Structure 1
């Protein structure tokens, strides 16, 4: 009887121990799920800082051995001189339709142009637009070309020059994609763009079509200026610039500031340089 009683007590103790172990395992699973949910909720804040890692000086395919000739005017390369890029938006009377998920296929603009800038580092780029977004590829290419041709853009650094191409060798693509497609492309570089923002990953400057069509509520300039900010910011990453922040109340926000998250007292600005050729900088953001 005593042996049987001891066996019964040992069996009961083992059952209690198994129950504790199972309970702990269940708690760990629950905490793990809760931790993952918290990480997901924090992702927007992480993503707002994360794309700083995009900043890298990407060497072009080729660097000319001789100094380039004087930069051709935008008119010579098919774009009329302008302080703002030509608009590819629908008429203002019709609000633009943002297609969240495009076809996944892209059309390359047939437009091409001459070299802009006198810098020795030539970067050739092409423009692609996702089918189904309602954005005309050639109009978008003209807009991008006008931005990079503007003396307030990156050619003023004296190092970089750019050329729009429709075929042949190229250094990067400016790719305008629907929010879902943009997210998928940016995710290949470990960036969480949440259907809202743009990125520079691989050989692609990825422009969210929502931003291209509607601008940003934080940016009180024109839609054309906001498009200029998109191009200048992401191309700035490509040529080695990191994020910057507001240098002081009332001053122009740097082009490398993530202005979609707020201006912090600065005024909206799309350009890395002012009309006098002064770089509009701000404190670096880690």
Structure 2
């Protein structure tokens, strides 16, 4: 785990917490979305081999493993990689899962690849693209961990995730496996849709989007809205764009 940046970074940490399995306990890097790619670390454990290009959409396992409260704090990196999705600024990312959690790192990587490549996702803006990598330089990590490990990583930069929420610190999107495996009691949609909301919300912060709120009664809630904190009359929604390329946004939250 890279900790060299944490002391300075804690001075500019911004914390926003939600209730059970919500987005997000966030501490954003002052460097912002234009930071240079960092060099990847080698995997600490070799996962099963996967196709070199994950499919565009992968359904989650019908029976997710139970989530332990704690783990060893070490991670395995997905060996899967994919072609870039979207155009404009292509951000390279890798996927890691905490060792011993029973979650397939390559399956998680394939699902995230499908979410980021969905036509309703951030690539619809024509300015942002993503590429899943297994090695080499990267711009950010999507790292899934047990609640205690999430608390430890996020808490080192400021956010107090209390074993319940995700966070965004430095160049890492930290996903709480309790949320990934079981969803949220406040979100009634399919588990894959909730996973997509986690990724779209946190990666939205990565590319420079702040929080938004409900644009009007009965309208889709923005992906950048903290939906678990209440919909304020909007309908629950996972995606930043609709299938026709219209941005499903709302007023910015100061």
Normalised by the length of structure 2, the TM-score is 0.81
Q: Once the 2 structures are TM-superposed, how far is the Cα of residue 188 of structure 1 from its aligned partner?
A: 2.4
Q: Once the 2 structures are TM-superposed, how far is the Cα of residue 164 of structure 1 from its aligned partner?
A: 0.2
| Aligned match of 1:71 | none
Q: Once the 2 structures are TM-superposed, how far is the Cα of residue 265 of structure 1 from its aligned partner?
A: 2.1
| Aligned match of 1:59 | 34
Whether 1:146 aligns to 2:138 is no
Counterpart secondary structure, 1:269: coil
CA contact (8 A) 1:254 1:281 kept: yes
Aligned counterparts, 1:62-73, within 5 A: none
Q: Once the 2 structures are TM-superposed, how far is the Cα of residue 51 of structure 1 from its aligned partner?
A: 4.6
Bigger Cα Rg: 1
Aligned counterparts, 1:1-286, within 5 A: 47-48=17-18, 51=25, 54=28, 57-61=32-36, 78-82=53-57, 85-87=58-60, 89=61, 91-92=62-63, 96-119=65-88, 121-286=89-254
Distance 1:158 1:218 in 2: 32
Distance 1:214 1:166 in 2: 27
Per-residue CA deviation, residues 28-82 of structure 1 (Å, 9 max, x unaligned), is: xxxxxxxxxxxxxxxxx963499566387421436xxxxxxxxxxxxx9623344
Long gaps (5+) in structure 1: 1-44, 63-75
Of Structure 1 and Structure 2, the greater helix share is in 1
Distance 1:80 1:205 in 2: 22
CA change 1:105–1:50 in 2 (3 A) is: closer
Highest RCO, 1 vs 2 (Cα 8 Å, sep ≥ 6): 2
Of Structure 1 and Structure 2, the greater strand share is in 2
Q: Once the 2 structures are TM-superposed, how far is the Cα of residue 183 of structure 1 from its aligned partner?
A: 1.2
Long gaps (5+) in structure 2: 1-14, 38-50
Count the aligned residue pairs. Answer: 222
CA change 1:180–1:246 in 2 (3 A) is: same
Normalised by the length of structure 1, the TM-score is 0.72
Per-residue CA deviation, residues 168-210 of structure 1 (Å, 9 max, x unaligned), is: 1101000001011111111122111111111111110000000
| Aligned match of 1:29 | none
Counterpart secondary structure, 2:17: helix
CA change 1:77–1:245 in 2 (3 A) is: farther
